[in-house]
């Protein structure tokens, strides 16, 4: 008798990685952006065990969105070149990063964030430039002044970063490429004033389009979601497995995964061959697939990052067999 654990044995809701799809995604991205041309963004998957697989594929520099991610990556020894691609003025958290026995670079976009980094003993920064997404980043023509201030404060200025996330919503590929180019003109103009070796930017949706950055910051590509699916050469390798707990004779059924286990800001999950009616806290109501109470269904999330952040584990499966379990150990702030 086999003692293999099957996906159908897992307590639900369960976040399940399709290992062959994951490995294909890693291989495809590594072909597009080999080695140091990719700085994987750990916020998408929040797992040091998954990050280790990316390091094994040749990517040793990582992006983080939170200080908890930076500290967790350092604890796991994935600390060759960690970037907090985000601003913080939290002195204690900056100190915790500065105290690591590992090189940490932080993004800065104002006098206050430059001074906070210097005061806490951070050694290196990137000047974060607003390239069109209204979220962090200084004006491109202020980048040189900020870099001078940072250098005067004793910080190494390694270069610039600018995330063009606003182009993700552009469906047409040539229009999206033109929008990336416009954004990158701003970033390169800032870089000319700032100096340094690093021009960091981009993401999964611009992996094939952004030819201007020295390193691409991408995370979603590893497991994907339905929002990016069909626009980029990566496949959905993640699902939330749920158990059918009620079937209504009028033609709908209910399973035990809802908005407490699925990131819903980009919309409802997709049920292949079925139709999701709505999600509530712990329920998804759906129709179109013939199920009985106790059956399993696999929901495809619309937004990967917040979905992962709701789970303790990524169960790794090959077909129906569970072959590994990765802790989601980079949660929190
Ligand atoms: C700073 C930064 N870089 C890059 C990305 C791209 O990530 P992804 O590849 O998951 O779209 C993001 C996503 O929000 C981001 O915030």
Q: Does any ligand 1 atom lie closer than 6 A to the CB of residue 220?
A: yes
Write down the pLDDT at residue 1.
45
Question: How large is the average pLDDT for residues 317-323?
Answer: 97
Q: Does any ligand 1 atom lie closer than 6 A to the CB of residue 219?
A: yes
Q: Label residues 151-188 b or e (16+ Cβ within 10 Å = b).
A: eeeebebbbbbbbbbebbebeeeeebbebbeebbebbb
Question: How large is the average pLDDT for residues 62-91?
Answer: 98
Write down the pLDDT at residue 123.
97
Per-residue confidence band for 3, with pLDDT thresholds at 50, 70 and 90? confident
Ligand 1 mean position, distance from CA 219 (Å): 6
Q: Which of 287, 123, 307 is nearest to 219 (CA)?
A: 307
Ligand 1 mean position, distance from CA 293 (Å): 39
Q: Does any ligand 1 atom lie closer than 6 A to the CB of residue 217?
A: yes
- Each residue of 97-135: pLDDT tens digit? 999 999 999 999 999 999 999 999 999 999 999 999 999
What lies within 8 Å, CB to CB, of 117 at 6+ separation is 94, 106, 108, 125, 150, 155
Euclidean distance between CA atoms 206 and 213, whole angstroms: 11
Euclidean distance between CA atoms 13 and 281, whole angstroms: 12
Residue of 51, 109, 165 best suited for mutating to test ligand 1, as the one with most atoms within 8 Å of CB: 165
Q: Does any ligand 1 atom lie closer than 6 A to the CB of residue 165?
A: yes
Helix (H) or strand (E) holding 224: none
**Nearest atom within ligand 1 for CA of residue 228:** 11
Per-residue confidence band for 169, with pLDDT thresholds at 50, 70 and 90? confident
Helix (H) or strand (E) holding 295: none
Euclidean distance between CA atoms 274 and 285, whole angstroms: 11
Question: C-alpha angle with apex 242: 241 to 244, nearest 5 degrees?
Answer: 145
Distance of CA 74 to the CA centre of its chain: 18
Ligand 1 mean position, distance from CA 163 (Å): 7
- Each residue of 258-271: pLDDT tens digit? 999 999 999 999 99
Residue of 169, 208, 219 best suited for mutating to test ligand 1, as the one with most atoms within 8 Å of CB: 219
Q: Does any ligand 1 atom lie closer than 6 A to the CB of residue 234?
A: no
Please list the residues that pair with 63 across neighbouring strands. Answer: 41, 83
Q: Does any ligand 1 atom lie closer than 6 A to the CB of residue 306?
A: no
Write down the pLDDT at residue 2.
60
Ligand 1 mean position, distance from CA 24 (Å): 20
**Nearest atom within ligand 1 for CA of residue 202:** 4
In the chain, % of residues over pLDDT 90: 98
Question: How large is the average pLDDT for residues 183-187?
Answer: 98
Ligand 1 mean position, distance from CA 316 (Å): 24
Question: How large is the average pLDDT for residues 200-205?
Answer: 98
Per-residue confidence band for 32, with pLDDT thresholds at 50, 70 and 90? very high
Per-residue confidence band for 147, with pLDDT thresholds at 50, 70 and 90? very high
């Amino acid at each position: 008798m086999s003692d293999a654990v099957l996906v159908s044995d897992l307590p639900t809701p369960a976040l399940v990685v399709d290992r062959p799809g994951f490995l294909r995604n890693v291989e495809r991205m590594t072909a597009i952006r080999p080695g140091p041309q990719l700085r994987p963004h750990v916020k998408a998957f929040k797992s040091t065990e998954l990050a280790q697989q990316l390091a094994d594929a040749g990517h040793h520099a990582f992006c983080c969105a939170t200080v908890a991610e930076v500290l967790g990556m350092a604890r796991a020894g994935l600390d060759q070149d960690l970037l907090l691609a985000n601003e913080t003025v939290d002195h204690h958290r900056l100190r915790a990063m500065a105290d690591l026995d590992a090189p940490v670079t932080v993004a800065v976009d104002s006098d206050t964030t430059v001074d906070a980094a210097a005061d806490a003993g951070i050694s290196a920064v990137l000047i974060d430039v607003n390239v069109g997404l209204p979220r962090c980043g200084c004006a491109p023509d202020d980048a040189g002044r900020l870099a001078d201030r940072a250098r005067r404060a004793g910080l190494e200025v390694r270069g610039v970063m600018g995330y063009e996330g606003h182009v993700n919503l552009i469906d047409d590929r040539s229009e999206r490429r033109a929008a990336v180019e416009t954004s990158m003109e701003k970033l390169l103009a800032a870089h000319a004033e700032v100096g340094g070796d690093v021009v960091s930017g981009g993401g999964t949706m611009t992996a094939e389009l952004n030819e201007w950055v020295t390193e691409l910051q991408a995370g979603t590509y590893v497991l994907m979601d339905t929002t990016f699916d069909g626009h980029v050469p990566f496949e959905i390798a993640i699902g939330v497995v749920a158990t059918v707990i009620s079937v209504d004779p009028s033609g709908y059924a209910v399973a035990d995964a809802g908005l407490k286990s699925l990131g819903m800001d980009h919309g409802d999950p997709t049920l292949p061959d079925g139709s999701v009616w709505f999600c509530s806290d712990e329920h998804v109501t759906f129709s179109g697939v013939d199920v009985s109470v106790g059956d399993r269904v696999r929901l495809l999330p619309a937004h990967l990052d917040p979905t992962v952040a709701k789970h303790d584990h990524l169960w790794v499966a090959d077909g129906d067999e569970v072959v590994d379990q990765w802790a989601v150990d980079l949660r929190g702030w």
